[in-house]
Amino acid sequence: MYSAVYRKIEETALRLQRIDPGLSEIFQKCYPNTLETTVELLDDGTSFVITGDIPAMWLRDSSAQVRPYVQLAAEDPDVRRMIRGVIERQARYLLLDPYANAFNKEPNGNGHSGDQTLKGPWVWERKYELDSLCYPVQLCREYWEATRDRTIFSETVHAMFHRIVEVMRIEQRHDRDSGYSFERTGCPPSDTLAFGGRGTRTNYTGMIWSGFRPSDDACKFGFLISSNMFAAVILRYIGQLAKEIYHDHGLSVSAYMISEEVEFGIETYGKIKHPVYGWMYAYETDGFGNYNLMDDANVPSLLSIPYLGYRDVNDSVYRNTRSFVLSPDNPYFSSGRFAQGVGSPHTPAGHVWPIGLIIQGLTSTDLAEQDDLVRMLASTTAGTGYIHESFHPDEPETFTREWFAWANSLFGEFICKWLDRKLE
């Protein structure tokens, strides 16, 4: 099963052996980790994908976990079956509740049952995160580009596209039009929304409101810039697919229109002129002139802007933003004896996230920088051979989440691209 995946592993491992046998061993463990430990093919033709140590399916994580295999789908029917199943299940979940970020395999009521929000039995957690609406579309479009397999375009997926556009339109005017709220008691402030579960107030900008970040932490200000960048990109995907596949003119026009409005909002309200870095993107804003200057390692992030497809890696505002993000001026950038990189308020202070290091590598044009990042990643697995959620840069054996499949998949993607460049 998954013969193309294991051929890829064998070919890549042999190439890595010439450079670093230890790195070859880590790659062989990480690249298939999602397939071997988190994917369950269900009798209804769908695929259920857990994050690793949490027995629920996140829309974001499940997309990111299987994304490195998409390039192999054209030559491997097992990979096609698995990814088609992920897309179909994600579509069903989004039609059940487009405001939820994580779901159960069955309607068993597992998860955060005490949250004050409209939570059904399928929902593990109902934190509204804008990126959760984006990832399934990205996966769908990339699978289509790789395979030209029209079977993914079911009426369920068509309905998902409609629902995503509808919710994004509503959340452009969250304070006026949205019925969503979320409160959790007995938790840190980052796990709940202020002001009666509605979050801080926002001004209309064209951007889309998000309650929570891709870290699952609450937004300080409701317009999360990197997630809006992702939304602007995937709305164009919906516009294209609605027109070419479903011949749905109304949906296509609506998607393109919102994309333009979101991009206008980002470029008008989402940038500041920093006294050191010049024009750069803020992490969050409220549209009233308040900004949060930081970056979080979770994707979408400001560091990941070219990876998302919003701007080219050489775009001047991105280069300025990148310089800020990879400096001590970013409050979540940390340095130590073994690594330096972007972390997150979601994990202990001073920790570095491998996902941040990987995204730094995937968006770098400097092979020497990529070499350093590969070395950091390979030397900080604490002897486990797997990539963790975060670690202390002075003590890599102090880490969070031993089983975190997203990080393992992303590492495999980075190593393949780095190796192609290094040996070209």
- The per-residue DSSP string of 346-395 comes to TS-TT-B-HHHHHHHHHT---HHHHHHHHHHHHT-STTSSS--SEEETTE
How confident is the model at residue 105, as a pLDDT? 98
Return the half-sphere exposure (C-beta side, CA atoms, 13 A cut-off) of residue 16: 25
CA 271 to CA 192: how far, in whole Å? 27
Per-residue confidence (pLDDT) for residue 327, from 0 to 100:
98
Per-residue pLDDT at 134: 98
At 342, which CATH number?
1.50.10.10
Residue type, 118: L
Q: Quick one: which of 270, 274, 315 has its CA closest to 290?
A: 270
81-86-88 Cα angle (round to 5): 95
- Number of domains composing the chain: 1
Q: What is the pLDDT of residue 356?
A: 98
Closest CA to 352 of 389, 379, 406, 313: 389
Instruction: Report the C-alpha gap between 171 and 424 in whole angstroms.
Output: 46
pLDDT of residue 139: 98
pTM (global) more than 0.85? yes
Residues lower than pLDDT 50 in the chain = none
Quote the CA–CA distance of 48 and 405 in Å, as a whole number: 14
Structure token pair of residue 394: 């002075």
Work out the number of other CB atoms within 10 angstroms of the CB of residue 360. 25
Contacts of 407 (CB under 8 A, 6+ apart): 354, 355, 358, 387, 388, 389
Domain membership of residue 388 as a residue range: 3-422
Alpha carbon distance 42, 88 (integer Å): 11
Kind of pairing between the strands at 102-103 and 47-49: unpaired
- b or e along 384-423 (b: 16 or more beta carbons within 10 Å of the residue's beta carbon)? eebbbbbbbbeebeebbbebbbbbbbbbbbbbbebbeeee
Q: 155-171 and 249-269 are packed helices; what angle lies between their axes, rounded to 10 degrees?
A: 40
pLDDT digits (tens, 9 = 90+) for 63-107: 999 999 999 999 999 999 999 999 999 999 999 999 999 999 999
pLDDT value at residue 39: 98
Q: How far does Cα 180 stand from its chain's mean position?
A: 22
